[in-house]
């Protein structure tokens, strides 16, 4: 077993989409997700989260609670959760039952991150929840309902989540704008910002969250997790080449034709595509050890985050494992100086 590098430094976690690679399938993607989680656990990462997306050829984590069970059953200590569940797609009772069940199976290891976006297109969102009563404007009420269902049962409560009631599964609010920051502050919940794909309002959102945070029974003080896309390799050139898989996936999505994760290959971008990519990757760390260490330390200092959650869309499974290993090594060495 590899050394747990992460102890004694800013906690690191993993955000995974269980990528389906070109020429592969969902079974292989889920097997590699399990292997990455085991690898991250051995390295000392704190959490392994998967994200809910639908109708996406390159993402195998649509049935998010099922994937969490798959990962938690293959690990022992790492926290496993959703980063996140797109709550407008679901009745709060269903999510309370799913995550109450997960907490019963894997006590003390389950996290529930909640997002307001549908995680898909409107047609698919309609197929997920045909009545559309879970529209995004109901999100605050749905969060409160979910909290109540996961909390202690109240006298006379007619509807209970079984399993779920009394489980108190930790809830995080996820956001990519100021809205999530305001809601997390108002409800006194920890806040995770999606700076890996929507960095524009990162600093403003964190400042807003911290300035307006109201302590609650769930969280005594502001708690921030910031997401960062990282591709680490032995050299800058290798990392840049590996990152072209994510570049292609990003361009395909923007063009309205999402695909499985392509193998790395050099691509020619238009000026508009280059500008869009630079915006999304404002804080990304792609490179060899020195560059990644420098950029990650700068990002941690800039955000003052309590935890960093790392995502890496890398076609080659072994290169992906190595990237997460390098990140752990580099940040551990940085914290010792």
Determine how many CB atoms are found less than 10 A away from the CB of residue 72.
20
Domain regions of the chain by residue span: 12-231+304-315
What is the C-alpha to C-alpha distance for residues 225 and 193, in angstroms, rounded to an integer? 6
pLDDT per residue over 112-129, tens digit each? 999 997 655 667 666 666
What pLDDT sits at residue 332? 86
Token pair listed for 168: 């108190």
Token pair listed for 63: 């049935």
What pLDDT sits at residue 5? 42
pLDDT per residue over 232-260, tens digit each? 999 999 999 999 999 999 899 888 899 99
Residue segments in the chain with a per-residue pLDDT below the cut of 50: 1-8, 130, 134
Determine how many CB atoms are found less than 10 A away from the CB of residue 217.
9
User: For tokens 């390098």, what's the residue?
Assistant: 326
What pLDDT sits at residue 128? 66
Which fold is adopted by the domain 12-231+304-315?
Answer: TIM Barrel (3.20.20)
What is the C-alpha to C-alpha distance for residues 143 and 227, in angstroms, rounded to an integer? 22
What is the C-alpha to C-alpha distance for residues 111 and 128, in angstroms, rounded to an integer? 23
What is the C-alpha to C-alpha distance for residues 210 and 226, in angstroms, rounded to an integer? 14
User: Residue 200, preceding bond cis, omega within 30 degrees?
Assistant: no
What pLDDT sits at residue 311? 97
């Amino acid at each position: 077993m590899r050394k747990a590098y992460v102890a004694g430094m800013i906690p690191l976690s993993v955000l995974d989409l269980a990528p389906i690679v070109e020429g592969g399938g969902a079974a292989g993607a889920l097997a590699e997700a399990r292997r990455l989680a085991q690898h991250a656990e051995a390295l000392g990462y704190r959490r392994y989260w998967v994200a809910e997306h639908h109708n996406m050829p390159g993402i195998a984590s649509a049935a998010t609670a099922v994937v969490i069970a798959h990962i938690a059953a293959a690990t022992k200590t790492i926290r496993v959760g959703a980063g996140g569940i797109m709550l407008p797609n679901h009745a709060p009772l269903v999510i309370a039952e799913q995550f109450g069940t997960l907490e019963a199976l894997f006590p003390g290891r389950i996290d529930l991150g909640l997002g307001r976006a549908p995680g898909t297109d409107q047609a698919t969102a309609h197929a997920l929840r045909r009545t559309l009563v879970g529209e995004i404007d109901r999100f605050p009420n749905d969060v409160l309902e979910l909290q109540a269902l996961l909390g202690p049962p109240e006298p006379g409560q007619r509807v209970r989540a079984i399993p779920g009631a009394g489980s108190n599964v930790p809830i995080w609010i996820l956001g990519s704008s100021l809205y999530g920051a305001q809601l997390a502050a108002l409800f006194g919940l920890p806040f995770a910002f999606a700076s890996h794909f929507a960095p524009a309002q990162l600093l403003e959102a964190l400042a807003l969250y911290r300035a307006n945070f109201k302590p609650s029974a769930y969280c005594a003080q502001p708690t921030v997790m910031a997401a960062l896309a990282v591709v680490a390799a032995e050299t800058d050139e290798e990392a840049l080449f590996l990152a072209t898989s994510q570049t292609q996936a990003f361009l395909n999505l923007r063009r309205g034709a999402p695909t499985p994760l392509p193998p790395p290959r050099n691509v020619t971008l238009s000026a508009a595509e280059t500008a869009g990519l630079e915006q999304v990757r404002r804080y990304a760390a792609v490179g060899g050890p020195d560059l990644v260490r420098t950029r990650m330390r700068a990002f941690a200092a800039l955000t003052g985050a309590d935890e960093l959650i790392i995502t890496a869309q890398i076609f080659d499974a072994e290169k992906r494992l190595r990237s997460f290993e390098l990140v752990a090594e580099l940040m551990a060495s940085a914290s010792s100086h």
